[in-house]
Structure 1
Amino acid sequence: MSEIKNVPLPDIGDFDEVEVIEILVAVGDTVAEDDGIITLESDKASMEIPAPFAGVIAEIKVTLGDKIKQDDIILSIKSVGNDAEIVEEVAKVVSAEPKILPVVVPDIGDFDEVEVIEILVNAGDVLSEEDGIITLESDKASMEIPTPLAGKVIDINVALGDKVKLGDLILNIKSTSVEAVVTKDTAPKPTAAPAPKPTNTPAPQTLDQSVSTTPKGDSHASPSIRKLARELGVDLSNVTGTGQKSRILDTDLKGYVKQIITSGGTGGLPKTPVIDFSKFGLLEIQPLTRINKLSGKHLTACWLNIPHVTQFDEVNIDKMETYRQEQKANGVKLTPLVFIMKGVVQALQAHPRFNASLDESGENLIIKKYFNLGIAMDTPNGLVVPVIKDVEQKSLLELATELAQTSAKARNGKLSPKDMQGAGFTISSLGGIGGTQFTPIVNAPEVAILGVSRSFNKPSWNGKNFVPELTLPLALSYDHRVIDGAQGGRFMAELNNILSEANYD
């Protein structure tokens, strides 16, 4: 028998509230157990929440941009016992007759009447549930009103400047829940409203006309973002949104203003050229994975905001390799990385400034007394950085076992949010791939990262002869606001000594 069950947000780690940045299903969709249903994003990571059981999506109770916490209801699923029941439940919804339903002004708080300052749709537009339809403004706040159901706009019953109140008709929509689901990917995009006729009224001033001479078309943003933009004198059509469906986020608006201020009105960073590559030959378009997109934004922010310095060194690891081979002969397989992890923790204990973060003001250093290491791992979907905790308390064998298990989870996309939190320092090892050196990007809010390249034999003069020496190339990148060159040099010398003398126990 089918049964409708609510799906609450599970324990996602040490977060009070996280933002919904992606809804991966629609009403009427059939999901299997562990299929993704929504994506959440905190200031540290993004996470995909899976369905705990199979069935048909009956109702979605969150919208993009919502802040939710543990046990909040995400959606409800009509659980079914077999494929025949799934087909039957979907057929019931698909066969529902489309209806023309009114959309009225909902309860918007303690206001008698509020003004319509923006109409976001046109007659004939096809909407998804929770798409914005109008923006209202009172003397205290502005608010975007979403459509409570999906479908096609039949007519609009308000105009710019109208004063509306609770229960007033906004528009009529022809909709069934599944009709919207079926058409959402193929429906025509909303048509742009006709351009206003030119008048003699001067255009509103932006922060810098030299930066914003070319509007980018329709802009999508929340009421709070629109209000802030009006206060700052920013034309949102000139701000590029990085949110879902190019929605303008708080960080986009603040970044735009910061760019203008820091560039002195000269336009900030130049844009890269847009080129039609198809005129040169055949092409293949490969969309970036979600991990690519998220890590790309994070690394760009790290590179632009942190003054990087990278120091290079080479370590003689003959003793380490001898010990490793002895253990291997005894049936204990240890990778070089576990030795490096133990050595890094010893160096961090001697140089605590490297196991730290700047506070929000940028005026205080937060020294971490725990020793958790982020380990960058390559996966089919992109780079991830799970965290191995309490490294100083674990043996080489324990670290090797945990690394192997974590690597398998990373490759299979099974890392949880807790697996990605709490690092104080990161190691990025390309030893199994190759290369002689590289310059790793500091993984903010950390202040340093160690890059490890492939070891190689090089001739070394011992006073009488050249002898082969197994050499490990290291690259230490650090935040120059926190760590100066002398401190970086001392850390590398300490780590070199630990690794070369096999002082990793």
Structure 2
Amino acid sequence: MTNEIKVPDIGADEVEVTEILVKVGDKIKPEQSLLSVEGDKAAMDIPSPAGGVVKEIKVKTGDKIETGSLIMIFEGDAEEDSKDSDDKDPQNAKQADDKKSDDKTSDKQKSADSKPAEKKSGGSASKDVEVPDIGGDPVEVTEILVKVGDSVKADQSLLSVEGDKASMEVPAPFEGKVKEIKVSVGDKVETGSLIMVFETAADDADSVEQSADSASEDSSKDDKKDDKKGDSKSDNNASGQSSAKADSADKADKGDGFVENKAYAHASPVIRRLAREFGINLAKVNGTGRKGRVVKEDVQNYVKQLVKQAESGSVAGAGGVGGEHSKLGFDLIAWPKVDFAKFGEVESKPLSRIQKLSGNNLHRNWVRIPHVTQFDEADITGLEDFRKEQNALAEKKKMGVKYTPLVFIMKAVAKALEDYPTFCSSLSEDGQSLIMKKYIHLGIAVDTPNGLVVPVVKDVNKKGIIELSRELMEISSKAREGKLSSADMQGGCFTISSLGGIGGTAFTPIVNAPEVAILGVSKSEIKPKWNGKEFEPKLMVPLSVSYDHRVIDGALAARFTATLASYLADIRQIIM
């Protein structure tokens, strides 16, 4: 026999079919997901209320459906056939209905009995706050954002945590007053870990008991209902289950769930579960479905691509076992384990958050990019004289600005990048093309008490020395105070690392991927330079340009460095 499958109770609003998860001929089990739909508030899956074989699919992707809409027709399975035979025998049918009623009463009673009671204290109750679904890996608590006694609203951030892949915040699943904090900075937590205890209004606790009481009352009422309503009870069960799914999807949308890096991936709950099983960050998967939705085939193709890269030894940071070298496709022996304490007194000092993040990035860039460093030096005698004159004038006019050598170097670099745009490019993900950037944003490495950061100064080629000086002072101050936002450190196309104020004659800076080159500036010094007739004292600054040899060859690097040196030797060329 055939069985019409309709949309259960999902509320009053229409939803859009975003993905059909089965096809004609598939054998379906009860509660198996049939469709993915999306409304104004949430994305959810429509489960099957019964088992059977898909005979017809009455909807297609993009259709609008609502509660009661016909979506599929099933051919009945063995359970349906058994039901038909029972219907033919009134006595058997009555016995089956009585058994269903008894089972339902028993289940509801068990549910009511097993419902945990809240711990009451006068007019309030204590409720545990646990870590929501953040994947399988433990994360480290880096900051506690509330304290005991604080009144917290639902979705307010409670903790900052950091894992191997991202930093994120844990939101409050409900409102209340912080009674206890069960974790401290540095602790490792995972999905389901107890982090806090909230004190909530007694009404919230009473509602739990009321729900248990109502379950008992419902079971008593069900016993008195007419046997003829057995079928409608079954329909209501399916509707209730689906409604619960919609509610849980709603909660996830409001913040109870976790979205890595706070980036939203357009995917159904089924796809999210699949991604969690494989440990995949959906934000990195290219969605080919309607409106950029990530579908099952996208996840499968992404996994296949990672497998191919791993087999060819070209994948970095894609997970797996065997340590960092294994991730990078190398078969290296592990570091020896040394007990340093047997040689003398030791102390373990944890790395700062910035040190850990930058360390991983630097290691990846050093191993994956074939570095070459071109060394040169520039005569900045005239530039330094001009800089000192302008600083004296600025101080006399009380302009509130100080010109540093770095600002002039930034302008010279911007001019050289216009002449050699390859240095302002990035290699595409597949390594088959260059992405040429039509803007010049320079990253400036800044040494802070917590480690190295690289804020970005935008449109350097379009700004004057005065404007750049003020902006550099401001962004350097923010960096040292730890007030840089993620936007302040994004968008760079070339980086400058200046150690001239400290010392050194040369060094090999590491390319800041996905950029393809970086300039290192060392301490300037007076050197004798031959002018054709005699030696003259000249102020020379050492330049070290590291570059990605896959993109830039040695001859081009030498020309770029020589051009940069010539601009620094005569800054009048910058305005030409």
TM tier, shorter chain? 0.5 to 0.7
Q: Which runs of 4+ in 1 moved over 3 A?
A: 19-37, 39-43, 46-49, 74-78, 126-129, 147-151, 225-228, 254-263
Q: Deviations over 1:233-271 (max 9, x none)?
A: xxxxxxxxxxxxxxxx972218869949955xxxx1232
- For 1:141, the equivalent position in structure 2 comes to none
Paired with 1:306 and 1:477, the residues of 2 have a C-alpha distance of 11
Q: CA deviation at 1:483?
A: 0.3
Paired with 1:257 and 1:38, the residues of 2 have a C-alpha distance of 25
Residue 397 (structure 2) pairs with residue 323 (structure 1): no
CA contact (8 A) 1:354 1:447 kept: yes
Residue 169 (structure 2) pairs with residue 37 (structure 1): no
| Structure 2 gap segments, 5+ residues each | 1-136, 198-240, 242-274, 281-298, 305-315, 396-400
Paired with 2:157 and 2:537, the residues of 1 have a C-alpha distance of 53
Q: Deviations over 1:63-87 (max 9, x none)?
A: xxxxxxxxxxx66675xxxxxxxxx
CA contact (8 A) 1:129 1:150 kept: no
Paired with 2:467 and 2:145, the residues of 1 have a C-alpha distance of 46
- For 1:442, the equivalent position in structure 2 comes to 511
| Structure 1 gap segments, 5+ residues each | 1-18, 50-59, 62-73, 79-88, 96-125, 132-146, 152-166, 168-220, 233-248
Q: Deviations over 1:449-469 (max 9, x none)?
A: 000001111111223332211
Say which SS state the counterpart of residue 504 (structure 1) adopts. helix
Residue 536 (structure 2) pairs with residue 467 (structure 1): yes
- For 1:501, the equivalent position in structure 2 comes to 570
Query: Which structure has the highest helix share of the two?
Result: 2
Which of the numbers 240, 256, 278 marks the counterpart of 1:224? 278
CA contact (8 A) 1:409 1:415 kept: yes
Q: 1:419 to 1:463 in 2, by over 3 A?
A: same
Paired with 1:323 and 1:456, the residues of 2 have a C-alpha distance of 17
Q: 1:314 to 1:286 in 2, by over 3 A?
A: same
Q: 1:495 to 1:261 in 2, by over 3 A?
A: closer
- For 1:482, the equivalent position in structure 2 comes to 551
Q: What TM-score comes out, normalization by structure 2 length?
A: 0.49
Indicate the RMSD between aligned Cα atoms, in angstroms. 4.1
Which of the numbers 167, 179, 191 marks the counterpart of 1:130? 191
Q: CA deviation at 1:403?
A: 0.6
Q: CA deviation at 1:25?
A: 5.6
Paired with 1:21 and 1:392, the residues of 2 have a C-alpha distance of 42
Paired with 1:261 and 1:338, the residues of 2 have a C-alpha distance of 37
Paired with 1:26 and 1:411, the residues of 2 have a C-alpha distance of 22
Residue 403 (structure 2) pairs with residue 281 (structure 1): no
Q: What TM-score comes out, normalization by structure 1 length?
A: 0.56
Q: Deviations over 1:117-146 (max 9, x none)?
A: xxxxxxxxx996724xxxxxxxxxxxxxxx
- For 1:416, the equivalent position in structure 2 comes to 485
Paired with 2:358 and 2:405, the residues of 1 have a C-alpha distance of 26
CA contact (8 A) 1:47 1:417 kept: no
Say which SS state the counterpart of residue 363 (structure 1) adopts. coil
Paired with 1:129 and 1:422, the residues of 2 have a C-alpha distance of 33
Identical amino acids, percent of aligned pairs: 48
Say which SS state the counterpart of residue 345 (structure 2) adopts. coil
Paired with 2:525 and 2:365, the residues of 1 have a C-alpha distance of 31
AA in 1 matched with 2:525: F
Larger Rg: 2
AA in 1 matched with 2:191: E
CA contact (8 A) 2:140 2:163 kept: no
Q: 1:36 to 1:484 in 2, by over 3 A?
A: farther
Paired with 2:374 and 2:432, the residues of 1 have a C-alpha distance of 25
AA in 2 matched with 1:271: A
Say which SS state the counterpart of residue 273 (structure 1) adopts. coil
Say which SS state the counterpart of residue 251 (structure 1) adopts. coil
Q: Deviations over 1:320-346 (max 9, x none)?
A: 111101101202521000000000010
CA contact (8 A) 2:443 2:456 kept: yes
How do residues 308-387 of structure 1 correspond to structure 2 at under 5 angstroms?
A: 308-330=371-393, 331=395, 333-387=402-456
CA contact (8 A) 2:428 2:434 kept: yes
Which of the numbers 466, 480, 496 marks the counterpart of 1:397? 466
Q: 1:430 to 1:465 in 2, by over 3 A?
A: same
Paired with 1:42 and 1:368, the residues of 2 have a C-alpha distance of 30
CA contact (8 A) 1:339 1:504 kept: no
CA contact (8 A) 1:130 1:148 kept: no
